[in-house]
Amino acid sequence: MAEPKPRIGRNIALLIDADNASPANLDAALTILGDLGTVNVRRIYGNWSKPALKGWSRLVHRHALEPQQQFDLTKGKNATDMKMTIDAMDLLYGGHVDGFGLMTSDSDFMPLAIRIRQNGTPVYGFGTARTPEAFREACTRFIDLDAMPDEDAVEPASEAAKPAIDDELVKLLGEAWKASKRDEMGFASLSEVGQRVANRSSFDARSYGFSRLSELVQTLPNFATERRESGLFVKRTR
């Protein structure tokens, strides 16, 4: 997909399901949401009497998170889903939020992501490899935070450490290339290819351990790339 430029002045809301998200991934989520704008609304939901949320408690003041207390009214259940959904709808209809980040691995938020997108508002999902496909695909883009490249690492992550790129992704990229405008040599702008991919899938290169789509494509033997003044161009070779 196209590599977005930060959109200055746009108001972004990050809603965190503390029971289904790791505090270790918060910095990465905030950085990625810079693609959309400035994260001015930062709310985190959970039952703060639970020892399991202690890690999140340490980050509340450091990252200006607004904690939302939700008691577990029934054993094995929590009220986070409903409260988070109500708040998201209030923000959406208030008209002052230009994009959402939903940090959770819970498929119960699939209807919420779909409703936000129907309003023409982008929604980024942040979860882990165990996040159900239903929620992944409901988001404008979904990022597997566990697969994110470690920007602080001294050595780049080895290829063996990156998640495998499956045939479905190669097929998706190939079909997007085929549908894009190509020159006489068969090359298409990666920006256009990426946009077509984004229209069909919540795929994000960071879920495969790459910072950008351009980095991912250049590792695929199925494609040839060519750097030009106007950007990177790509061609399906097999």
Enter the tokens of residue 160: 């063996």
Tally of domains within the chain: 2
Judgement on whether residues 106 and 51 belong to the same structural domain of the protein:
yes
Number of Cβ within 10 Å of residue 19's Cβ equals 20
Judgement on whether residues 20 and 132 belong to the same structural domain of the protein:
yes
**Picking from 119-123, 152-156, 179-183, which range would have the lowest pLDDT averaged per residue?**
152-156
pLDDT in tens, 196-212: 887 777 778 888 888 88
Given a cut of 90, whether residue 45 has pLDDT beyond it is yes
Given a cut of 90, whether residue 49 has pLDDT beyond it is no
Given a cut of 80, whether residue 229 has pLDDT beyond it is yes
The CATH number covering residue 214 comes to 3.30.420.610
How far apart CA 88 and CA 159 sit, in angstroms, is 38
Q: What is the pLDDT of residue 154?
A: 42
**Picking from 19-23, 62-66, 130-134, 148-152, which range would have the lowest pLDDT averaged per residue?**
148-152
What Cα–Cα distance (Å) separates residue 163 from each residue in 105, 107, 214?
Answer: 18, 22, 17
- Residue 170 forms part of a structural domain: yes
Judgement on whether residues 42 and 143 belong to the same structural domain of the protein:
yes
Q: Which SS3 state, helix, strand or coil, does residue 116 take?
A: helix
How far apart CA 193 and CA 174 sit, in angstroms, is 9
Angle between helices 110-118 and 80-94 (to 10 degrees): 10
How far apart CA 39 and CA 43 sit, in angstroms, is 10
Given a cut of 50, whether residue 2 has pLDDT beyond it is no
Last residue of a domain, one of 119, 147, 175: 147
Given a cut of 70, whether residue 160 has pLDDT beyond it is no
Given a cut of 80, whether residue 5 has pLDDT beyond it is no
Amino acid symbol at 123: V
Q: What is the pLDDT of residue 164?
A: 76
- Residue 1 forms part of a structural domain: no
- Residue 6 forms part of a structural domain: no
Judgement on whether residues 35 and 109 belong to the same structural domain of the protein:
yes
How far apart CA 234 and CA 218 sit, in angstroms, is 9
- Residue 3 forms part of a structural domain: no
Judgement on whether residues 217 and 187 belong to the same structural domain of the protein:
yes
Last residue of a domain, one of 107, 126, 147: 147
SS (H, E, C) 84-96: HHHHHHHHHHHCC
Q: What is the pLDDT of residue 148?
A: 73
The CATH number covering residue 107 comes to 3.40.50.1010
R_g of the chain, CA atoms, integer Å: 19
Judgement on whether residues 76 and 186 belong to the same structural domain of the protein:
no
The predicted model gives 180-200 an average pLDDT of 87
Enter the tokens of residue 175: 């079909």
Enter the tokens of residue 202: 């919540």
When the pLDDT of each residue in the chain is averaged and rounded to a whole number, the result is 85
Q: Which SS3 state, helix, strand or coil, does residue 1 take?
A: coil
Q: What is the pLDDT of residue 76?
A: 52
The whole domain housing 192 covers: 159-236
pLDDT in tens, 90-123: 999 998 899 999 999 999 999 999 999 999 999 9
Judgement on whether residues 171 and 143 belong to the same structural domain of the protein:
no
Judgement on whether residues 132 and 166 belong to the same structural domain of the protein:
no
